[in-house]
Chains A and B, each alone.
Chain A
Amino acid sequence: EDQVTQSPEALRLQEGESSSLNCSYTVSGLRGLFWYRQDPGKGPEFLFTLYSAGEEKEKERLKATLTKKESFLHITAPKPEDSATYLCAVQANGQNFVFGPGTRLSVLP
Chain B
Amino acid sequence: DAGITQSPRHKVTETGTPVTLRCHQTENHRYMYWYRQDPGHGLRLIHYSYGVKDTDKGEVSDGYSVSRSKTEDFLLTLESATSSQTSVYFCAISAGRGGEKLFFGSGTQLSVL
List A residues at the B interface (Cβ < 8 Å): 4, 31-32, 34, 36, 41-46, 49, 87, 89, 91, 95-97, 99-102
Contact = CB atoms under 8 A, between A and B. Distances in A.
A95 B104 contact: no
For the complex of A and B, list the 10 residue pairs with the smallest distance between their C-beta atoms, beginning with the closest: A43-B104, A99-B43, A101-B42, A99-B42, A44-B104, A46-B101, A32-B100, A43-B106, A43-B90, A43-B105
B52 to A, nearest CB: 17
Interface of B: 31, 35, 40-45, 48, 50, 58, 90, 92, 94, 96, 99-107
A45 B92 CA distance: 11
A42 B45 contact: no
A95 B42 contact: no
A94 to B, nearest CB: 10
A91 B96 CA distance: 14
Contacts of B104: 43-45
22 contacts: A34-B102, A36-B102, A41-B107, A42-B106, A42-B107, A43-B92, A43-B104, A43-B106, A44-B43, A44-B102, A87-B42, A91-B100, A95-B48, A95-B50, A95-B99, A96-B58, A97-B45, A99-B42, A99-B44, A100-B42, A101-B40, A101-B42
Nearest to B109: A41
A71 to B, nearest CB: 15
Contacts of A96: 45, 48, 58
Nearest to B92: A43
Nearest to A6: B42
Contacts of B102: 34, 36, 44, 46, 89, 97
A49 B58 CA distance: 22
Given A89-B102, A100-B42, 11 more contacts: A34-B101, A43-B106, A43-B107, A44-B102, A44-B104, A49-B96, A49-B100, A95-B94, A97-B45, A99-B42, A99-B43
